[in-house]
Amino acid sequence: MSSTFSGAMSSRWMRLWPMGSQPGAPSGSVAIVDLPCHDSTVCLSRCWNSHAMRQVDLRVTLISPERLNTTKVFDFEQETNGSVKFRPAEPVEVELEVVKTLRLEVWDVALRRIIAVAEMETKDLEKRRHWRLLLQDPLTSEAVYGTAPRGPDSLDRTLRPLNRRPSFLHLLIQVSEPGSFVQETPSSASTPSTASRSEVFRSSLGSLPPGAKESTGRKKVMLITRGTRGDVQPFVALARGLILYHDCDVIFVTEISWRNFAMDALKDLPEDRVRFRPCGGDTAQRVNTDLSRNFLSRSARRGAADRVASLRPGGAFFGEEASGHCRSFR
Predicted pLDDT at 155: 56
- pLDDT, tens digit, 9 for 90 and up, residues 140-175: 888 888 876 666 665 555 666 667 788 999 999 999
Domain range annotation of the chain: 13-177, 219-283
Lowest mean pLDDT among 9-18, 82-91, 121-130, 165-174: 9-18
177-187 average pLDDT score: 57
Closest CA to 103 of 13, 195, 94, 36: 94
301-305 average pLDDT score: 53
- Residue of 97 and 281 predicted with greater confidence: 97
Residue 213: exposure state from Cβ atoms within 10 A (0-12, 13-18, ≥19): exposed
CB 51 within 8 A of CB 38: no
- Residue of 2 and 138 predicted with greater confidence: 138
Architecture of domain 13-177: Sandwich (2.60)
Predicted pLDDT at 283: 83
Q: How far is CA 140 from CA 116, 180, 232, 236, 279, in A?
A: 10, 42, 19, 25, 13
321-330 average pLDDT score: 44
User: Could you give phi then psi for residue 309, rounded to 5 degrees?
Assistant: -65, -25
155-159, 234-238, 265-269, 276-280, range with greatest mean pLDDT: 234-238
Asked if residue 191 has pLDDT above 50, the reply is: no
CB 278 within 8 A of CB 135: no
Asked if residue 294 has pLDDT above 90, the reply is: no
CB 171 within 8 A of CB 130: yes
Residue-averaged pLDDT of the chain: 75
Asked if residue 6 has pLDDT above 90, the reply is: no
185-199, 208-222, 237-251, range with greatest mean pLDDT: 237-251
Asked if residue 260 has pLDDT above 90, the reply is: no
Whole-number percent of the chain with pLDDT over 70: 64
Asked if residue 27 has pLDDT above 70, the reply is: yes
14-34 average pLDDT score: 90
Which pLDDT band, with edges at 50, 70 and 90, does 285 fall under? confident
257-277 average pLDDT score: 88
182-193 average pLDDT score: 47
- Residue of 163 and 253 predicted with greater confidence: 253
Lowest mean pLDDT among 38-47, 123-132, 274-283: 38-47
SS3 label, residue 193: coil
Asked if residue 129 has pLDDT above 90, the reply is: yes
Which pLDDT band, with edges at 50, 70 and 90, does 2 fall under? very low
Asked if residue 199 has pLDDT above 70, the reply is: no
CA atoms within 13 A on the CB side of 176: 23
Predicted pLDDT at 161: 60
